[in-house]
Amino acid sequence: MSGFLKKLFAGAAPQVAHVNPWGAEFAVSPSQTLLEAALAQNIPFPHNCTVGTCGSCKCRLTGGQVSAITDFGYTLSAEELSAGYILACQARLKSRITVEVESAGDNLPQPATYTGQITSQHPLTHDILAVTVTLDRAMPYIAGQYASLALPGLAARSYSFAAAPERAGKRALTFYIRTVPGGAFTGQLFAGALQNTSLEVTGPHGHFFLRGGDGPIICMAGGSGLAPLLSLLHDARKNRLRRRCVLLFGARTQADLYALDQIEEIKTTWPADFTFLPVLSDEPASSGWSGRRGFFTGMLGEFIPPPQAASTQAYMCGPPPMIDAAITALTTLGLPLEAIHYDKFTDSSHAAR
Ligand SMILES: Cc1cc2nc3c(=O)[nH]c(=O)nc-3n(C[C@H](O)[C@H](O)[C@H](O)COP(=O)(O)OP(=O)(O)OC[C@H]3O[C@@H](n4cnc5c(N)ncnc54)[C@H](O)[C@@H]3O)c2cc1C
Ligand code: FES
């Protein structure tokens, strides 16, 4: 056989993946992604979008080599890439590999499909709506998770739950949704065209939830990214979590701040020390705003003194550039990547890159 043919057949051979913590070992064909092969083996590999934008299938490559269908760097940070993280839904195997999946999510509620209707919507700011979707039956979820909403003929969009969960699940789901210029879903929503329209809702999804521990937590939100943090903080307060908490809320101007009454209520009833800091990036100099200006990512050192870096957990949601800048700042301060939890609010422009 010629060298060329040998190479061709060798390239076409299935490779083996070893996936921890399950210790599962299975073949992955050249046409399959790591995620597809794992799901075909009934391995509960975390996932949602399958197109490399949500980050749910993030795992750490500890041995072997993969190639990326779409660049992992659109969703993962530079720090995660250099620590060996990959996206299973975008990974094809170049050799035998070993990957580690965070096991903390094994007990999360199983996603299911529901029928829902938008039963109310009201503005929180000039570009964010509070939207209630009422389901045909109650959906159980964990604070911090999200659901996918699909209109007929349009791919599903992800939105994080803004309210604390209830033990028996919730039928009326609240979301905080920001308009996106040129956005197919938010364009119709903000035009008021979706009131009482039937939606297919799947969920709950995601691995953004409060981890165990007794060290401080630092929460960071940009824009509608406040929604899952409010859900998480309301729930933690209900459960009398006694951990020091800092909440940083980044917005452009005072007109972009919202839910301040909810934050004040959480702050005054939080059973331990609670600091809230809104930080404005584009507030006019003449406005009389006496609070902080700029980006909170440059201020994180004030809230994480060096002795606390190893025990602090970070939770953040919002625009991808904010998350990437915060990961760089947090790891520079000494937080391990395993203590940094986030959902990047990506959209279809990321999938199209
Ligand atoms: C886990 C997760 C949780 C989220 N939670 C929230 C939340 O709680 N609140 C919230 O407001 N948002 C959230 N998002 C973001 C949200 O899901 C949507 O991305 C957003 O609402 C946009 O939807 P759309 O249909 O209006 O815009 P889209 O139609 O998806 O368009 C988005 C942008 O991409 C551009 N675009 C579309 N197609 C292409 C293409 N082919 N090539 C180039 N550009 C293109 C559009 O012009 C537009 O600027 C979350 C995202 C994720 C992943
Ligand atoms: S399932 Fe892989 S990034 Fe969403």
- Which tens digit of pLDDT belongs to each residue from 86-137? 999 999 999 999 999 986 566 789 899 999 999 999 999 999 999 999 999 9
Tell me what pLDDT residue 7 has.
52
| 49 CA closest ligand 2 atom index | 4
Which amino acid is residue 275, in one-letter code? Answer: T
Is 72 or 347 the better-scoring residue by pLDDT? 72
Long-range contact pairs involving 116-124 (C-beta distance under 8 Å, separation at least 24): 116/149, 116/173, 116/198, 116/199, 116/200, 116/201, 117/196, 117/197, 117/198, 117/199, 118/189, 118/194, 118/195, 118/196, 118/197, 118/199, 119/172, 119/196, 121/189, 121/192, 121/195, 124/176, 124/258, 124/259
Above pLDDT 70, what percent of the chain?
95
E-state strands within 79-145 = 85-87, 91-93, 97-100, 112-123, 128-139
Q: Give the mean pLDDT of 43-63.
A: 90
Whole-model pTM: value is 0.92
How many whole angstroms from 33 Cα to the centroid of ligand 2? 11
Does the C-beta of 70 come closer than 6 Å to ligand 2?
A: no
Contact 55 CB / ligand 2 (< 6 Å): yes
pLDDT over 90 at 306, yes or no: no
Instruction: List, for residues 258-298, the tens digit of each pLDDT value.
Output: 999 999 999 999 999 999 999 999 999 999 999 999 999 99
pLDDT digits (tens, 9 = 90+) for 20-30: 998 999 999 99
**Closest CA to ligand 1's atom 24:** 183
Q: Does the beta carbon of 150 sit less than 6 angstroms from any atom of ligand 1?
A: no
CA distance 279 to 250: 5
- Quick check: 8 pLDDT over 90? no
Distance 184 CA to ligand 1 centre (A): 8
Inform me whether the pLDDT recorded for 253 exceeds 70: yes
Alpha carbon 6 to its chain centroid, in Å, reads: 43
Mean pLDDT of the 15-39 span: 95
Residue 75 CA, closest ligand 2 atom number: 3
350's CB contacts (< 8 A; 6+ apart) are 53, 74, 75, 320
Whether ligand 2 lies within 6 angstroms of the CB of 350 is answered as no
Verify whether ligand 1 is closer than 6 Å to residue 352 (CB atom): yes
Q: Which ligand is nearest to the CA of 53?
A: 2
Give yes or no for residue 186 CB within 6 A of ligand 1. yes
Mean pLDDT in residue range 335-353: 84
pLDDT confidence of residue 46 = 87
Tokens 């996206």 belong to which residue?
A: 87
What mean pLDDT is reported for the chain? Answer: 93
What is the CA(347)–ligand 1 centre distance, in A? 3
Q: Which of 89, 95, 137, 93 is nearest to 116 (CA)?
A: 137
- Proportion of the chain in helix, strand, coil states, percent, rounded to 5: 30, 30, 40
Q: Which residues of 188-226 are buried (b: 16+ CB within 10 A; e: fewer)?
A: ebbeeebeeeebebbbbbbbbbbeeeeebbbbbbbbbbb
Q: What is the pLDDT of residue 56?
A: 87
Angle at 161 between CA 146 and CA 126, to 5 degrees: 115
Distance 179 CA to ligand 1 centre (A): 9
Alpha-carbon distances of 73 from 47, 53, 324, 326, 351, rounded to whole Å: 17, 10, 10, 16, 12
Count other Cβ atoms within 10 Å, centred on residue 140.
Answer: 17
Best residue among 179, 347, 349 to mutate for probing ligand 1, ranked by most atoms within 8 Å of CB: 347
Q: Which helix (H) or strand (E) holds 190?
A: helix 184-190
Q: Which residue has the tokens 């951990």?
A: 243
Asked which of 152-156, 224-228, 322-326 is least confident by mean pLDDT, the reply is 152-156
Which of 54, 72, 76 for mutating ligand 2's site (highest number of atoms within 8 Å of CB)?
Answer: 54
Per-residue pLDDT band at 196 (split at 50, 70, 90): confident
* Cα–Cα distance for residue pair 338/336, rounded to 1 Å: 5
Please tell me the residue having the least CA distance from ligand 2 atom 3: 52
Encoded amino acid at 240, one letter: R
Sketch out the chain's domains with CATH numbers. 14-106 (3.10.20.30), 108-205 (2.40.30.10), 217-345 (3.40.50.80)
What's the CA gap between 190 and 179, in Å, rounded? 7
Task: Check whether 1 has a pLDDT greater than 50.
Answer: no
**Test site for ligand 2: of 32, 43, 45, 48, most ligand atoms within 8 A of the Cβ:** 48
Distance 106 CA to ligand 2 centre (A): 17
C-alpha–C-alpha distance, residues 309 and 335, integer Å = 5
Nearest to 234 by CA among 340, 143, 315, 138: 143
The verdict on whether omega for the bond into residue 21 sits within 30 degrees of 0, i.e. cis, is yes
pLDDT at 200 over 50: yes
State in Å: Cα 51 to ligand 1 middle.
Answer: 13
Grade residue 9 by pLDDT with cuts at 50, 70 and 90.
very low
H/E element, 312 = none
Tell me if 87 CB under 6 Å of ligand 2. yes
On the question of pLDDT at 72 being above 80, the answer is: yes
